[in-house]
Amino acid sequence: MESLKLSFDAIAPIFLLMLLGYVLKCLKIADKKGFDLINKLVFKAFLPTLLFYNIYKTETANVFDPKLVAFTSIGILFVFIVGYFTVLVLTKENPKRGVMLQGFFRTNFAILGIPLVSYICGEQARGLASLMVAIIIPMFNILAVIALERFRGGSGKLHLPTLLKGMAKNPLIIGCVIGLVFFGLDIKLPYVIEKSVGDIASIATPLAIIALGAGFEFSGIKGYAKEISIVIIARLVVIPIIILTAAVLCGFSGEALACLLITFGGPIAVSSFSMAQQMDGDEKLAAQIVVISSALCLFTLFLWIFGLNSLGLFTI
């Protein structure tokens, strides 16, 4: 029951903010154009600040695990490559392809990683989870730009100069790069600036989730039933089975395995909706899969935590 309670406590605030966005839309307090402007602001200002701040505040504290970093990086690339060829077969619509591919590999580790890993393995695991943020989030965002640029504009062709230009101009990647520079060089901001940056970063997730809720439409579920089912089953069941089995065979357990669980078994990242909307992906499909994966992961994460704990791979 404690596992279920923790999952609920981590996911419930996301749903309440989504519900707020949906209610605000229904009450016509803001129209679609207004929420689109909010989402644009989140994508170009608040989320980059959040990513910078998460990486900037990472505490290494002798927790660097090169084996875990290598396994995680290879695992994300494996999911991306397999997902890429999968979406080519599943649909001919490029806006859907980019969003589905993003849904396969990109999870909500930035929001759920540290609290869930800390719960599973204790507060001493916060250092490792924080370090993984600095590794995982830049990878997710770079690959997301590649996925969405690859299927942008309807041509379905990958133009390297356009891709590189898109990556260089992408606010989320810029935020990650600046964060890595400050983290790597151990540059410290003055207290007043750091406090202000932290306050701005704290706005990003609530605003992104409210805009996501406003973009959700129940009527859209039926129209995307095939795509939603494929992405959700892959994201919450198939991918974690493959990756976690490989991880156990490679000897991972404890806090390292907990990090891998959230990386490969968590819900689809909320920021994937913002990026899809700003990069010509199918924003309605993106909203559907984020909302539904966030709902279902309450139960799938509980089952994963319970199962791995029962096998003695970590102890709650």
What does the angle CA 236 – CA 282 – CA 106 come to, to the nearest 5 degrees?
35
Residue bearing the bigger pLDDT, 41 or 298: 41
Give the confidence band of 80 by pLDDT, cuts at 50, 70, 90: very high
Structural domain includes residue 243: yes
Q: Would you say residue 316 lies in a domain?
A: no
Ramachandran angles phi, psi of 299, nearest 5°: -90, -40
The mean-pLDDT minimum among 59-73, 159-173, 180-194 falls in: 159-173
Q: Report whether pLDDT(88) > 70.
A: yes
Phi, psi values for residue 30, rounded to 5°: -140, 140
The C-alpha atoms of residue 146 and residue 112 are separated, in whole angstroms, by 24
Mean predicted lDDT score pLDDT of the chain: 82
Residue 98 falls inside a structural domain: yes
Considering its fold, how many domains does the chain have in total? 1
Question: 268: which strand partners?
Answer: 107
Examine residue 182 and state whether it is found in any structural domain, yes or no: yes
pLDDT at site 153 = 61
Higher pLDDT: 240 or 58? It is 240
In a domain, 315, yes or no: no
**Which of these ranges, 2-11, 118-127, 231-240, has the smallest mean pLDDT?**
2-11
Tens of pLDDT, residues 106-117: 988 877 777 677
Q: Does some domain include residue 261?
A: yes
pLDDT of res. 57: 80
> CA-to-CA distance for 292 and 228, rounded, in angstroms?
8
Residue 158 in this model has a pLDDT that exceeds 70: no
Which domain covers residue 140, as residue numbers?
2-310
Q: What is the CA radius of gyration of the chain?
A: 19
The amino acid at 43: F
The region that residue 281 occupies, defined by phi over 0 for left and psi between -120 and 50 for alpha, beta otherwise, is beta
**Of 27 and 130, more confident:** 27
What is the per-residue pLDDT for 313? 78
The whole-model pTM stands at: 0.79
Is there a domain that residue 40 lies in? Answer: yes
- What confidence tens digit (pLDDT) does each residue in 242-257 have? 999 999 999 998 888 9
Looking at per-residue pLDDT, the higher value among 75 and 204 belongs to 75
Q: Report the distance separating Cα 280 and Cα 99, nearest Å.
A: 10
Is 90 exceeded by the pLDDT of residue 11? no
Most confident by average pLDDT, 141-145, 153-157, 230-234, 263-267: 230-234
Residue 62 pLDDT > 70, yes or no?
A: no
Is residue 268 a contact partner of residue 236, using CB atoms and an 8 Å limit?
A: no
Q: What is the CATH number of the domain that holds 98?
A: 1.20.1530.20
Mean pLDDT, range 302-306, rounded to an integer = 82
* pLDDT value of residue 156: 52
- Tokens matching residue 44: 């170009």
Task: Note the pLDDT tens digit of each residue in 170-221.
Answer: 787 888 889 888 888 888 999 999 999 999 988 887 887 788 778 777 666 7
Residue 292 lies in a domain: yes
